[in-house]
Chains A and B, each alone.
Chain A
Amino acid sequence: SQTIHQWPATLVQPVGSPLSLECTVEGTSNPNLYWYRQAAGRGLQLLFYSVGIGQISSEVPQNLSASRPQDRQFILSSKKLLLSDSGFYLCAWSPSTGYNSPLHFGNGTRLTVT
């Protein structure tokens, strides 16, 4: 069966520091991969999605970036964090075939920028 791993679970970082969150999927190949952010008490905001290695689409312009160096690895980065980057970051995957597929989420990373 497929599993998705995301780490770290929690992170406290000062303003201006870099960020790297990692997500890996097991048990499937060529998945669609997604990064979402959920601010406190708010809905999910799609940040990036990827349909293949090196293919990244950005939904919201900001100081975050994403990379997909391997088929089942998705990384979210920032060179300099802002206070407004605090939130709950969720990685998700869906099968590459079929448009009727739900997303499956990792456990999330709770980021607090101080």
Chain B
Amino acid sequence: RKEVEQDPGPFNVPEGATVAFNCTYSNSASQSFFWYRQDCRKEPKLLMSVYSSGNEDGRFTAQLNRASQYISLLIRDSKLSDSATYLCVVNIWAAGNMLTFGGGTRLMVKP
């Protein structure tokens, strides 16, 4: 079983739609969580951290469910520019600042 698993997609959605991605992690000792965005042939960029109580940044909402060991990302009112691959990232503090990346979920927003 992979440490961090994501549905690779692609998720094809129309502009203005709401779309959600889930990510599961296997190590219950995981302590911090992030979502990154990666555009085609570019480096990953931090989208947002994920906090225990859930957090929102504009159209983006991240949630953490420790009991079920998954995190989610919700994108409201999708824009064409949201088309990208979204990477789920998990940090197990016991191993130092070692982040483990999921394989990514590809999102394609259509006009």
The residues of A with any CB-CB pair to B shorter than 8 Å are 32, 42-44, 46, 49, 51, 88, 90, 94, 98-108, 110
Contact status A43-B99, CB under 8 Å: no
Total number of residue pairs linking A and B with CB closer than 8 Å: 49
Instruction: Return the chain B residue nearest A91 by Cβ.
Output: B43
Q: Decide: A42 and B103 in contact? CB cutoff 8 A.
A: yes
Residues of B close to A102: CB separation below 8 A: 34, 36, 46, 49, 89, 99
B87 neighbours in A (Cβ, 8 Å): 43-44
| B-side contacts of A94, CB under 8 Å | 97
Verify B45–A105 contact, CB threshold 8 A.
yes
> For the complex, is B101 an interface residue (Cβ under 8 Å from A)?
yes
Which of B41, B87, B93, B96 gathers the greatest number of chain A CB atoms within 10 Å? B96
Closest-by-CB residue of B relative to A108 is B43
Additional pairs, 18, CB under 8 Å, beyond known A99-B93, A100-B91: A32-B96, A42-B103, A43-B103, A44-B44, A44-B87, A90-B43, A90-B44, A94-B97, A99-B91, A100-B31, A100-B49, A101-B97, A102-B49, A103-B46, A105-B44, A107-B43, A108-B43, A110-B41
By beta carbon, the residue of chain B nearest A6 is B43
For B93, the chain A residues whose CB sits under 8 A away are 99-100
Kindly identify which residue among B34, B42, B98, B101 contacts A44, using a CB–CB cutoff of 8 Å.
B101
Which of these, A32, A43, A98, A103, contacts B102 with CB under 8 Å? Answer: A43
Q: Verify B101–A43 contact, CB threshold 8 A.
A: yes
Give the distance in Å from the alpha carbon of A34 to the alpha carbon of B95 in the complex. Answer: 14
Q: Kindly list the 10 A-B residue pairs having the minimum CB-CB distance in the complex, ordered from nearest.
A: A43-B103, A105-B43, A99-B93, A44-B101, A100-B32, A102-B46, A108-B43, A102-B34, A94-B97, A99-B97
Determine which residue in A94, A100, A106 has the highest number of CB atoms from chain B within 10 A of its CB, and name it.
Answer: A100
**Closest A residue to B93 using CB positions:** A99
Neighbouring A residues of B103 by C-beta, 8 Å: 42-43
Q: Name the interface residues of B1-57: CB closer than 8 Å to any CB of A.
A: 31-32, 34, 36, 41-46, 49
